[in-house]
Amino acid sequence: MKRVSFRRLLDVLGGLVLASLVLVPSATGLGALPALGTALNPGTGVWRLSADAGTARSGEMALPGLKNPATVSFEDNGIAHVRTGDDQDLFRVIGYLHARFRLVQMDLTRRQANGTLSEVIGAATLEVDRFQRDLGLRRAAERDWAALGDDNPAKATLQSYSDGVNAALRELRSGNRMPTQFAVLGYEPADWSPVDSLAVQRLVGQKISFDSQAPLFSYAEKAMGTEAFKAWFPDVPENKQHPYDKGPFKKLPLTPLPQRSFPDPGNGTTKASAAGQTKPDGPLALGAGSELAPLLERLGELPNSGMGTMGHSNSWVVSGSRTESGKPILSADPHLPHSLPSIWYQLEGRSPGYHFSGVTTPGLPVPLLGKTDDFSWGLTASQRPTTLYYLEKTEQGRPDEFFSKGSWQPMTLLREKIAVRGQSDVDHTIKLTSHGPVMEVEGLTAAVWWAGTLPNDNLHSMLKMLRARNIQEFRDSLSNWVTPALNFSYADRHGDIAMFNAGVAPQVDGHPPTLPLPGDGTAEITGSIPFEALPSSVNPPEGYIVSANQREVTGDYPYQYSTSYNWVLHGWRDGEIVDRITSAGKLSFAETAAMQSDWHDNNARQLVPLLLEALNGEQLSGSEQQVVDMLRGWDFTAGPESLAPAFFDSFKNRVSWVTFEPWWKHYGVKQNPGEYLLPKGPDAGAWAQETLRGTVLGWIQHDPDNKYFSLPDGTKRTTTQVLREAFHQSVKRTVEKFGADLNGWRYDRYQRVLFPSLLGISALDVGPMPWGGNPRTINTSVGTRDDDAGNPLSNLSTAGPTWRLNVDWGTGEANSIFPAGQSENPMSPWYANGVPVWMKGQFWPVLEGDAVKGTSEWRLRP
């Protein structure tokens, strides 16, 4: 059993982030390479030798397996447009495109999902492979592929996509043009299979929905006791909320969960290489002095990136009654880590049965967000728990048994060998109870029940969705969606808007599923919330629906749902979006697109007036009076030119610190092994700190006499005293950090944005550059560290909106942008060409059909 310590907030997020995008390919036939050194710098060395260093050139080429000729047109920005005369040809060409532009990404992604990174990297990724083998994405993918019937369109789609990938592989092999990184690593990727796509699909879900919140917050609950814990961390956050489903709610019988079968361990051991590649000879020559040395550290941290906890995405739909065009508008922007190469590949696909424009994830054949001729859709993560932790009763003398339902039961043991480059294979035993694999997470050994390994046919749901013609067909396509739990926003040409929550929602009688559960049989899952009772909203009278990771339902919801510590965002972004929509009059397409770049801080909008009121009559120093004057004139934007965010960044933390830190000590709450549950200081963020922002604001607004404003020794404190103390401390701290001259507090002097190469080589990064925003603004900025290159005054943002989409069904306008590019090659004009457009708040038009002109074109023949 292994201990997984989830240390860094960004590395444990969620979303659709493919953190295994760690290499940038160069299509060249160099064979084995020496130490690369400065050859990795952009503009020199191997990149210049790449056939993909420029843009795509027009020409004719063969794509074996096509039923009819097809074309791929490329805009000047690299966006691809695929036209085929057969539906399966469409997915075959998409596979071919992904492999031509993202082959290294695809191979390392499937290796992470399969638990076979160590085969080509070495011992540095052994814990990654153990983690993934335990979790069982590959086992689930193989089971689901075997269950697909020949009449299921998903089966043909997966096979066609794989055929397209493999056609590209054969082309690259025969032309000696395999990406350079495979030569550096000393292996060639195996052919792609439908099971690989299903494993990648589950990896995407893992990074959205697999979390460690239950063991993390169990440290606080155990020390504080149930009463205090619930007061601090209620189900519904204490400050004002904007659930998109306000009821009345249906109370329906629970739906049985899909039955998860565990494999028969048999008598032998399984093959070490799940994807079928061959272990290279000799160790990987990436020593500490190599410019590729960061690769080992990055890949070695991949278990952390498999946790979905970031929780940042926006989507809103506005009905025609509120728009200038008289028809609905949809806006969507998933917030994930920035990366070069891009985590998205954007395209338009057209065939007899499909027409869509959107973003795909390399490895998967269909778009995850986008539009068709009839509707547009977006996604946000729903943070209700789908990862449950069972504390199994075991005894030292019974190492492979657990006690449940009154008797000792045998664990299922799966014995595997993990191939490790440069050394002998490593034996690994997976232990499964009736609840799931036994793992150690945050110092807690538990059997982990995760919805992500339940049987599912999500690809079939997506294919049905892409063929939907109206709101009912769209909703019907989601009825069998299993995981991850998502909110699907919807707007169509008929005038309808909607939001549907989809995915299993496990229910446990008598126990909160958000904390570790007893494994003795008294806390079994009794079923799932039926799809018909999950949160939804269709054409609401207010004329808009907003999802920004807030709790989707009110406290009257009749099922177990999320809590404030499930990483439900506490009303900041959704509150600001609602305010903007309701104050806009008739919303224009330009206005909704501009909202995605908005930096107003809704937490500051609510908290600062309460502070100013509390300071009435307080004796202030000269610096403190300057800060008060500045706050009185602040419009609550965290824009680059703003001065106030330098103060508020400290104040928001100090309010929680002053209120709760004496009580943390009183209860003796211990820090988690990863050291991110509790703040390490008054200006530090932490999981508990973030949750408590909503709690303390709600108390200040509605419960100013709450007992926790006073001290544990009985010393009485009022909310006014707490706010004043936090103010004095924050001014002192900000002056110490940025100087007494408020002009030195300009936000863009320390707030910066970086678009990193996940190879870890700074020469391949874009940035850092002056920026704005924070985790609470619509235009989200999230960082992994508080300093940049040793500069203590710098806050480096490395995550935010990774794709922005806007669609107006009245004017027919649609635009999008992502802060990266279509190509993995840093010498390609398509490597990071979206970054400056994105930073300016501008967009590329979503072109379709005859609007795509004057481009290069591939003419594909069978």
State how far the Cα of 658 lies from the Cα of 718, in Å rounded to an integer.
Answer: 12
Q: Which residues of 492-514 are buried (b: 16+ CB within 10 A; e: fewer)?
A: bbebbbbbbbbbbbbbbeeebbb
Question: 3-state DSSP call for residue 813?
Answer: coil
Helices (H), 438-523: 458-466, 471-477
pLDDT at 567: 77
Report the DSSP pairing between strands 375-381 and 486-492: antiparallel
Asked if residue 186 lies in contact with residue 284, where contact means CB atoms within 8 angstroms, the answer is yes
Banded model confidence at residue 305, pLDDT cuts 50, 70, 90 = very low
Asked if residue 490 lies in contact with residue 383, where contact means CB atoms within 8 angstroms, the answer is no
Question: Can you read off the two tokens belonging to residue 98?
Answer: 């992904």
| Greater pLDDT, 790 or 148 | 148
Question: 3-state DSSP call for residue 649?
Answer: helix
Q: How large is the average pLDDT for residues 58-86?
A: 95
Report the DSSP pairing between strands 436-441 and 3-4: parallel
Q: What is the pLDDT of residues 712-736, one digit of tens each?
A: 999 999 999 999 999 999 999 999 9
Secondary structure (H, E, C), 211-249: CCHHHHHHHHHHHHCHHHHHHHCCCCCCCCCCCCECCCC
Q: How large is the average pLDDT for residues 614-642?
A: 96
Question: 3-state DSSP call for residue 387?
Answer: strand
Q: What is the pLDDT of residues 462-476, one digit of tens each?
A: 999 999 999 999 999
Record the pTM.
Answer: 0.92
Q: How large is the average pLDDT for residues 246-269?
A: 76
Q: What is the pLDDT of residues 837-854, one digit of tens each?
A: 999 999 999 999 888 887
pLDDT at 475: 98
pLDDT at 758: 66
What burial class does residue 290 get, using C-beta atoms within 10 Å of its C-beta: 0-12 exposed, 13-18 middle, 19+ buried?
middle
Asked if residue 577 lies in contact with residue 314, where contact means CB atoms within 8 angstroms, the answer is yes
Report the DSSP pairing between strands 517-518 and 387-391: parallel
Most confident range, picked from 181-190, 497-506, 685-694: 497-506
* DSSP 8-state class, residue 637: B
Sign for the CA dihedral angle at 189, 193, 195, 200 comes to positive
Asked if residue 328 lies in contact with residue 496, where contact means CB atoms within 8 angstroms, the answer is yes
Q: Is the pLDDT of residue 631 over 90?
A: yes
Q: Is the pLDDT of residue 304 over 50?
A: no
pLDDT at 277: 54
Nearest to 780 by CA among 8, 13, 206: 13
Q: Is the pLDDT of residue 4 over 60?
A: no
Asked if residue 494 lies in contact with residue 470, where contact means CB atoms within 8 angstroms, the answer is yes
Question: 3-state DSSP call for residue 439?
Answer: strand
Sign for the CA dihedral angle at 177, 180, 182, 186 comes to positive
Question: 3-state DSSP call for residue 663?
Answer: helix
Report how far apart, in Å, the C-alpha atoms of 17 and of each of 13, 204, 568 are: 8, 7, 19
Q: What is the pLDDT of residues 125-180, one digit of tens each?
A: 999 899 999 999 999 999 999 999 999 999 999 999 999 999 999 999 998 888 87
Q: What is the pLDDT of residues 735-781, one digit of tens each?
A: 999 999 999 999 998 899 999 886 667 788 899 999 999 999 999 99
Nearest to 46 by CA among 65, 67, 29, 63: 29
Q: Is the pLDDT of residue 258 over 90?
A: no
pLDDT at 759: 64
3-state helix, strand, coil in the chain (%, to 5): 35, 20, 45
Question: 3-state DSSP call for residue 642?
Answer: coil
Among 423-427, 501-505, 559-563, 850-854, the range scoring the smallest mean pLDDT is 850-854
| Percent of the chain clearing pLDDT 90 (strictly above) | 73
Q: What is the mean pLDDT of the chain?
A: 87
Q: Is the pLDDT of residue 202 over 60?
A: yes
pLDDT at 291: 53
Q: How large is the average pLDDT for residues 323-331?
A: 98
Q: How large is the average pLDDT for residues 13-23?
A: 27
Q: Is the pLDDT of residue 269 over 70?
A: no
pLDDT at 26: 28
Residues whose CB falls within 8 Å of the CB of residue 629, separated by 6 or more in sequence, listed in order: none
Run of H or E residues at 316 = strand 312-318
Question: Can you read off the two tokens belonging to residue 799?
Answer: 């995550």
Radius of gyration of the chain (CA): 27
pLDDT at 828: 86
| Percent of the chain clearing pLDDT 70 (strictly above) | 87
Tell me which amino acid residue 97 is: L
Q: What is the pLDDT of residues 19-58, one digit of tens each?
A: 222 232 222 222 222 233 344 444 444 444 455 556 788 9
Phi, psi angles (nearest 5°) of residue 209: -125, -15
Q: How large is the average pLDDT for residues 440-446?
A: 91
- Set out the domains of the chain in order of their start, with CATH numbers: 3-208+262-312 (1.10.439.10), 602-636+643-745 (1.10.1400), 751-845 (no CATH)
Report the DSSP pairing between strands 856-861 and 70-74: antiparallel
Among 89-103, 280-294, 510-524, 843-857, the range scoring the smallest mean pLDDT is 280-294
Residues whose CB falls within 8 Å of the CB of residue 238, separated by 6 or more in sequence, listed in order: 694, 695, 696, 697, 698, 699, 702, 703
Q: What is the pLDDT of residues 81-99, one digit of tens each?
A: 999 999 999 999 999 999 9
Q: Is the pLDDT of residue 449 over 50?
A: yes
Phi, psi angles (nearest 5°) of residue 733: -65, -40
CB atoms within 10 A of CB 227: 8
Helices (H), 512-621: 572-582, 589-595, 602-614
Asked if residue 56 lies in contact with residue 79, where contact means CB atoms within 8 angstroms, the answer is no
State how far the Cα of 311 lies from the Cα of 211, in Å rounded to an integer.
Answer: 11
State how far the Cα of 647 lies from the Cα of 731, in Å rounded to an integer.
Answer: 7
Asked if residue 862 lies in contact with residue 78, where contact means CB atoms within 8 angstroms, the answer is no
Q: End-to-end alpha-carbon separation of the chain, Å?
A: 51
pLDDT at 793: 58
Among 266-275, 379-388, 698-707, 791-800, the range scoring the smallest mean pLDDT is 266-275
Nearest to 436 by CA among 459, 461, 471, 411: 411
Banded model confidence at residue 447, pLDDT cuts 50, 70, 90 = very high
pLDDT at 13: 25
Most confident range, picked from 218-227, 284-293, 792-801: 218-227
Q: In what order do the strands lie in the sheet with 398-404?
A: 393-395, 398-404, 407-410
Residues whose CB falls within 8 Å of the CB of residue 560, separated by 6 or more in sequence, listed in order: 505, 507, 508, 512, 513
Report how far apart, in Å, the C-alpha atoms of 410 and of each of 134, 402, 404, 416 are: 17, 7, 10, 18
Q: Is the pLDDT of residue 651 over 70?
A: yes
